[in-house]
Amino acid sequence: MNAMLHGPKSTDKMLLSADQLHQTESYMLPRQFVSSRWICTLFMVLAVGVFAPLTAVAQSDDPAVSNSSTENQNQDTSEGQQTAGASVETAAGKAVEVAPESIGLDQRVDQLFKPIAEWWGGIVFFTVTVAGFQLPFVVILLVFGAAFFTVAFAFANVRLLPLAINVVRGKYDAIEKEGEAIPTHVEVNEVEGDLVDTIRDEAEGEVSHFQALATAVSGTVGLGNIAGVAVAVATGGPGATFWMIVCGLLGMSTKFVECTLGVKYRDVDVDGTVHGGPMYYLKRGLADLGLSRVGSVFGVLFAIFCIGGSFGGGNAFQANQAAQQIKSLMGLPDSGSSGTIIGVVMAIMVGIVIIGGIKRIASVTEKIVPFMAIIYCLAALVIILMNIQHVPGAIGQIVSGAFTPAAGLGGVLGVLIQGFQRAAFSNEAGAGSAAIAHSAVKTKYPASEGVVSLLEPFIDTVVICTMTALVIVLYNSGGLFEWGDVESKKVLIDGVRVGGVDLTSQAFDSVLPGFRYVLTIAIILFAFSTMISWSYYGLQSWKYLFGRSLAADLTYKFTFCVVVVIGAAISLGSVIDFSDAMIFAMVFPNMIGLFLLFPKVREELRKYLSACRDL
């Protein structure tokens, strides 16, 4: 554990060859960037930059500041304008700005954060003109890349599905047992929450392959399936579901490529600690092609974007939707400071796990999350079966809406973009995050993990996201709201704007009264476990850039907890925009690396298929 927190000691380095030492140290920025003084300075800047505005906002909401004394209230208007109370009256009277008392802390945090989300989103989602239409280039890159890998590997997403099932069933366990020596310490397994659920556990005698798949599937079910699908369908109409399914099928091929590379180019410390992910296969893989400088740059870029992704989709979005569901359940207003207070509580809970290293809480979550995932899927299935007579009509809306969408939905391309964005956010195929976790698996053949990873986008997006979408389409079969009539990703139902997790909750509750209480618990657990998982992804990228010191470790974790509070306070529109931008920014360096390295995956697949045939 000391080696992980404080970095390898000098005596440990003596055990490494010169080549190994070079590889270990070359993954981080120059030494002057990771000195204790630099880390401490960054820590203070983050603390001041984040908390100073919040402190000022909190002070402005303080009754002692915002309310004048009784004597001042009795003074004439000209004198009263000098007090906080009169300034509120004047501002309201002139209608120049909203009075401070009428704007809660949550809204002020959102005002500070929204311009950042819009600015970054404008950069990541820059558009290009295709056949007269403006399309985000990142969506084109994902679609083209997924289609390319599907064709290049002869539709491996369909062809290798039986093999993936057989591997999970344990048919090829004998091959795996001939693999490399089991590492004495695998750091990825130290986070015993959602992260463990996202990888195959191949340790002998611990779990069967079927149990490993069941755990992996439960780990992929989260707010992307619950809230993300609602956003896609509400914004793009039922047709967005069709394109989500297409994206899920194509994304299986992308996930296969990146997870295979994650295992092939992983880095193992002298103590057996495994470090892997796109930053490693970009650097080492491209170096094998004679593009070492390009690989180094791409590795650093991915690490930076992954840190941003851990703050966005892996943190702010989760905190936002969990807080929204709690406020809805408890009848708390969107104004005021309720979101911030909920965020503080969540940040403390997350901090206990990721900073304090208390594994017991995470291990409990690990056991509960699969159960909640099963409950959610069964509830969706019950609703579908109870409305089985309306299902053909709902499927008809999904298919027709994909090619002939109603007015106001942005046309076919607008619906397609919504479907692909939400599906990519849910299964993260092409973003490369899954490769960080999968790289720690114990196997002789990297392609074996790539084959098994095919199943995750299929079950996550093709099956579960479709079930959620069907429930929402069935809920709106009577025309409760208009598809595409959204503000801040929310539709108008009975004069109230509802979106994201609230829309899904209402859809479930309309058929299964009281289910929103169960869904609230599930959402909190999903959000909590996903934040733990993404904290690991971001931490690995942070260590890649700044080294593996205790100061670097705590700096990242502190910042991560601050973002939990921000995410719970800001609006859904802002957090969706920021989360999308951060997740999709990871696509650029990762997909370019996949295009250049896919021949290596083909070689690994050939080796694994040959070994399977020889068994």
**Across 517-526, average pLDDT:** 83
Binned at pLDDT 50, 70 and 90, residue 48 comes out as very low
Q: CB neighbours of 215 closer than 8 A, spacing ≥ 6?
A: 196, 197, 201, 207, 370
CA atoms of 302 and 282, how far apart (whole Å):
9
pLDDT at position 67 is 40
Q: What is the DSSP letter of 183?
A: P
Q: Which of 108, 222, 114 is nearest to 504 (CA)?
A: 222
547 Rama sector, left if φ>0, alpha if ψ -120 to 50, beta otherwise: left
pLDDT at position 270 is 73
Q: Which long-range contacts (CB under 8 A, 24 or more apart) does 64-72 make?
A: 66/100, 66/101
CA-CA distances (angstroms) from residue 13 to 7, 9, 17? Answer: 10, 6, 8
Say whether 180 sits in a helix, a strand or coil: coil
Percent of all residues in the chain with a pLDDT value above 90, rounded to a whole number: 22
Q: Which of 604, 569, 563, 516 is nearest to 106 (CA)?
A: 569
**Confidence check: pLDDT of 382 > 70:** yes
Binned at pLDDT 50, 70 and 90, residue 518 comes out as confident
**Phi and psi dihedrals of 275, rounded to 5?**
-125, 125
Q: Which of 102, 202, 143 is nearest to 438 (CA)?
A: 202
Whether the Cβ atoms of residue 179 and residue 443 lie closer than 8 Å to each other: yes
pLDDT at position 8 is 39
Whether the Cβ atoms of residue 298 and residue 282 lie closer than 8 Å to each other: yes
**Poorest-pLDDT segment among 291-305, 318-332, 392-406, 415-429:** 415-429
**Confidence check: pLDDT of 470 > 80:** yes
CA atoms of 598 and 593, how far apart (whole Å):
8
**Confidence check: pLDDT of 278 > 90:** yes
CA-CA distances (angstroms) from residue 40 to 25, 32, 44, 542? Answer: 21, 13, 6, 15
Reported as a single tens digit per residue, the pLDDT across 430-446 is 888 878 877 877 778 88
What is the average pLDDT value for the chain, to the nearest integer?
Answer: 74
pLDDT at position 90 is 39
Q: Which residues share a beta bridge with 490?
A: 487, 499
Residue whose tokens read 């004047």: 90
Determine the residue type at 317.
F
pLDDT at position 62 is 40
Whether the Cβ atoms of residue 391 and residue 470 lie closer than 8 Å to each other: yes
CA atoms of 469 and 337, how far apart (whole Å):
32
What is the topology classification, in CATH, of domain 102-614? Answer: Amino acid/polyamine transporter I (1.20.1740)
Whether the Cβ atoms of residue 136 and residue 417 lie closer than 8 Å to each other: yes
Two tokens at 387?
A: 């409305």
Two tokens at 113?
A: 């954060």
Whether the Cβ atoms of residue 587 and residue 313 lie closer than 8 Å to each other: no
Whether the Cβ atoms of residue 109 and residue 54 lie closer than 8 Å to each other: yes
Q: CB neighbours of 11 closer than 8 A, spacing ≥ 6?
A: none
CA atoms of 152 and 313, how far apart (whole Å):
30
Q: What is the dihedral angle through the alpha carbons of 34, 40, 42, 44, rounded to the nearest 10 degrees?
A: 180
Two tokens at 400?
A: 């027709």
Q: Domain boundaries in the chain?
A: 102-614
**Across 169-184, average pLDDT:** 64
Determine the residue type at 273.
T
**Across 185-214, average pLDDT:** 40
Two tokens at 233?
A: 């369908």
Q: Which of 563, 501, 524, 459 is nearest to 220 (CA)?
A: 459
pLDDT at position 607 is 92
Higher-confidence residue: 303 or 90? 303
CA atoms of 159 and 292, how far apart (whole Å):
34
**Confidence check: pLDDT of 527 > 70:** yes
Q: Which residues share a beta bridge with 135?
A: 128
pLDDT at position 490 is 84
**Confidence check: pLDDT of 549 > 70:** yes
**Confidence check: pLDDT of 340 > 60:** yes
Count of CB atoms situated within 10 Å of the CB of 535: 28
Reported as a single tens digit per residue, the pLDDT across 411-433 is 677 788 778 777 877 777 888 88
